[in-house]
Structure 1
Amino acid sequence: MALTQKDITEHHQNTTIQYCLPDNNFSCIMEVRTGPGNKFLLIFLSCVSVCTVFLNLLVIISISHFKQLHTPTNILVLSLAVADLLVGLIVMPVKILELVDNCWHLGKTACSIFPVIIYIIVSASVGNLVFIAVDRYIAINDPLLYSTKITVFKTAVFIVVNWSCSALYNFLFYYFEGHLLQKEKLSCIGECVVAQDFSSSIADLVISFICPCCVIVFLYLKVFKVAREQAKIVNVVEHDNAHGRGVKGSKNKAAKTLGIVICVYLAFWIPYYLGSVSVESLTTTAVVWTVFSWLIYINSSVNPLIYAIFYPWFRISSKYIVTCKILESSSSRLNLFPE
């Protein structure tokens, strides 16, 4: 009997089998995960989501509020933090909700749009990293003309273009894949599955990952080569000029810190894209796919931690924000770079 099968499944998998839509004969099976391990996982991921939102809010408020941080590089960091904030605010909660009972409760329209939102965010993130690499390359390679070539206004324009192109690319990609038109026939009602064939995965891999990463790696190799050469010059020629060493050192440190952000990004993303082309077809319900997806989501939590470790200004500004001292009228002019 069906009841006996249900009891066997509950005993063996520690899950309670129900239906996503009890009144519908074509409803998907709901798997309410009740084991202690599952509860711990959901609590952990919920904490990650909250921390991701909180930490990236600190970055956004810091750069937006303190005038000393209104630089082209930090505007790019702000854009990256906005993308990371959206991951913690939108993507993570929805994915946690899916993990609770393996059902999609948000309707067909949301199922069509949600994957597009995810990939707009992640595409904008990699675009931000490309612009950060370009910014650091010009700052290190041509420091005298940096202030004229790279301005806050130009950077803001690049950011708008980046987000716009990310939105356009992903809407077109999913439109021609048929997901926006709901052409995919679901096996049952109450699931949200996005299937991507091998050729589409390869095309997306090249456009969204390989090409941008090649640009990033190439520019950063140039950056560290020039930085190493400048370090030698500083040691030999500017040993009596402490201010000169400080300026050079701050630029090199910024390049190294943002280089770490990019390396961490690649480390979290490589498994996802390798998985996307390792088999003929993968769906969003696959366990391996879920693990790889959460790796890239958690990357949004790691970036602010990198800033906290390597950027003293972030630690100082965070203290002012947490203690509500930014409500003081003169707080925006605070010196975040004490000697």
Structure 2
Amino acid sequence: MNATGPYHPAGGLWLGLVIVAIILAIVAGNTLVIVAITRTPQLQTTTNIFITSLAFADLIVGGLVVPLAATFVVTGNWQLNKLACELWTSLDVLCVTASIETLCAVAVDRYVAITQPLRHHVVLSKRRARLAVCAVWAVAALISFVPIMNRYYRVRDRADREAWACYGNATCCDFITNSSYAVVSSVVSFYIPLGVMIFVYARVLLIASRQQQAIKRERLRFQKNKGRHSGDGCNGDRSHCEAPSVLGQASECGPAWLTAMREQRALTTVGIIMGSFTLFWLPFFVANVANVCGRRASYELFTALNWLGYANSGLNPIVYCRSPEFRTAFRTLLNRPPPCPRINHLYKGLQVHCPRLVNKVERGRAETSGALRWSWEGDPTAGPPKSNCSVRLDGVSEFQSQERKTSK
């Protein structure tokens, strides 16, 4: 077979160029995520310990697994020896298993954050999160390196000519497994973590939905109380009206409202990451288990499904850009300051929807330092002059610090 051509059809140069673009996107994106979390104190949270683990697994995929897979796909032959083939296969299974189990840990982390928000940092501290990450990688190593390097995955029946032809040919690196290993590895590496992840995340969404409804009811009740007091000595300026409220629970933009906004955004981001991972890897694991039924997928189909999973490693950094904290950290690392118009839009939105909180921040800043002086005419909720971007940046940073204090 070597004398007549490559073991598998060669992909060609154009496919190689596409793969190079995929490799660059995976490596650059996940390196940026890891550096951003490492160098930004605000991003060094318990959840982001798991995100760092996930980015590290994706970085290994982009830096080691995909380049070697590319040589196999482009040339049609495995260019190294059989030992290197088994090491590469073990690394591939290791990263996929670590990724799905890390996402399972993220789902549990979000569940604790929603159900026990005040004890979240105690129940799931950073130390315990790091231990959980170590456990995830240990389990992934046991399901990948141990059976593959000892060749427990190989088909024992020599009547399977396709499998034994590949085992005996140095230019073939197809991962043809026996039924036992296909079932056990798929269940441990994918299906059990996926089931736990779906169950926990469904519970998280249900609880978060109930909390959102409770906060909305409290906001409506607060606004009704505020309306009753609107004519008592305000003279049209509501910034001086201090309507009674239970601000930890019911105010317009109190700690409960701010925490709910952050949790909702975090849940949406985590949901997208989990959904995309499931969508990209589920076809591969379905095909892997289908081998047990004697319906072995063709080389072309199996390779296409495997590369669909590889593409997911470059998608996660794009999903993280939904987070304002990650966007700010990325811009800082790339020496691109945040655009002033978006800051203006944020501040004006706060003026419209949360006037009491913004006015409280402004009065506190003026009383302590005397540095903040707004001067505008007409409606007091119209905001500062458009030309004074630096002052508005100070106002927003003050609001963000206020938000962090209230969340603590």
Q: Same fold (TM over 0.5)?
A: yes
Q: Distance in 1 between matches of 2:325 and 2:23?
A: 24
Q: Distance in 2 between matches of 1:189 and 1:251?
A: 52
Provide, for residues 282-318 of structure 1, a one-character-per-residue CA deviation record: whole Å limited to 9, x for no partner: 48x800010000011111111111111x111111111
**Is the Cα–Cα contact under 8 Å of residues 196 and 282 in structure 1 kept in the other structure?**
no
Question: Offset of 1:145 from its aligned partner?
Answer: 1.1
1:227-246 → structure 2 map (5 Å cutoff) = 227-237=208-218, 238-246=250-258
Q: 1:26 to 1:184 in 2, by over 3 A?
A: farther
The letter for the 2-side match of 1:290 is T
**Is the Cα–Cα contact under 8 Å of residues 25 and 314 in structure 2 kept in the other structure?**
yes
Q: Distance in 2 between matches of 1:153 and 1:245?
A: 29
Q: Distance in 2 between matches of 1:277 and 1:128?
A: 22
Which residue in 2 is equivalent to 1:192? Answer: 173
Q: 1:278 to 1:242 in 2, by over 3 A?
A: same
**Is the Cα–Cα contact under 8 Å of residues 49 and 92 in structure 1 kept in the other structure?**
yes
Whether 2:155 is the aligned partner of 1:143: answer no
Q: 1:274 to 1:160 in 2, by over 3 A?
A: same
Choose the corresponding residue for 2:313, options 277, 283, 300. Answer: 300
Whether 2:186 is the aligned partner of 1:211: answer no
**Is the Cα–Cα contact under 8 Å of residues 27 and 190 in structure 1 kept in the other structure?**
no
Whether 2:333 is the aligned partner of 1:321: answer yes
Whether 2:162 is the aligned partner of 1:177: answer no
Which residue in 1 is equivalent to 2:259? Answer: 247
Whether 2:247 is the aligned partner of 1:266: answer no
Q: 1:148 to 1:111 in 2, by over 3 A?
A: same
Choose the corresponding residue for 1:131, options 97, 101, 105. Answer: 105
Choose the corresponding residue for 1:58, options 7, 26, 32. Answer: 32
> Which aligned segments of 4 or more residues in structure 1 are displaced greater than 4 angstroms?
25-33
Choose the corresponding residue for 1:83, options 54, 57, 61. Answer: 57
Question: Offset of 1:51 from its aligned partner?
Answer: 0.7
Q: Distance in 2 between matches of 1:51 and 1:176?
A: 33
Give the RMSD, CA atoms, in angstroms: 2.4
Between stretches 233-242 and 83-92, larger displacement belongs to: 233-242
The letter for the 2-side match of 1:262 is M
TM-score when normalising by structure 2: 0.68
Q: Distance in 2 between matches of 1:113 and 1:259?
A: 32
**Is the Cα–Cα contact under 8 Å of residues 7 and 172 in structure 2 kept in the other structure?**
no
Provide, for residues 50-98 of structure 1, a one-character-per-residue CA deviation record: whole Å limited to 9, x for no partner: 0110000111001111111111001111110000111111111111111
Q: Distance in 2 between matches of 1:263 and 1:140?
A: 20
Decide which structure has the larger Cα Rg and report it. Answer: 2
Q: Count how many residue pairs are aligned between Structure 1 and Structure 2.
A: 298
Choose the corresponding residue for 1:277, options 273, 281, 289. Answer: 289
**Is the Cα–Cα contact under 8 Å of residues 27 and 63 in structure 2 kept in the other structure?**
yes
**Is the Cα–Cα contact under 8 Å of residues 58 and 313 in structure 2 kept in the other structure?**
yes
Whether 2:111 is the aligned partner of 1:111: answer no
Which residue in 1 is equivalent to 2:342? Answer: none
The letter for the 2-side match of 1:240 is E
Counterpart secondary structure, 1:144: coil
**Is the Cα–Cα contact under 8 Å of residues 50 and 129 in structure 2 kept in the other structure?**
yes
**Is the Cα–Cα contact under 8 Å of residues 143 and 189 in structure 2 kept in the other structure?**
no
Q: Which has the higher contact order (CA 8 A, sep 6+)?
A: 1
Q: 1:67 to 1:31 in 2, by over 3 A?
A: same
Q: Distance in 2 between matches of 1:49 and 1:295?
A: 13
Q: 1:32 to 1:268 in 2, by over 3 A?
A: closer
Q: Distance in 2 between matches of 1:286 and 1:152?
A: 43
Question: Offset of 1:193 from its aligned partner?
Answer: 2.6
The letter for the 2-side match of 1:224 is L
The letter for the 2-side match of 1:147 is H
**Is the Cα–Cα contact under 8 Å of residues 26 and 189 in structure 1 kept in the other structure?**
no
Q: Distance in 2 between matches of 1:215 and 1:88?
A: 27
Q: Distance in 2 between matches of 1:254 and 1:127?
A: 19
The letter for the 2-side match of 1:119 is V
Question: Offset of 1:239 from its aligned partner?
Answer: 4.1
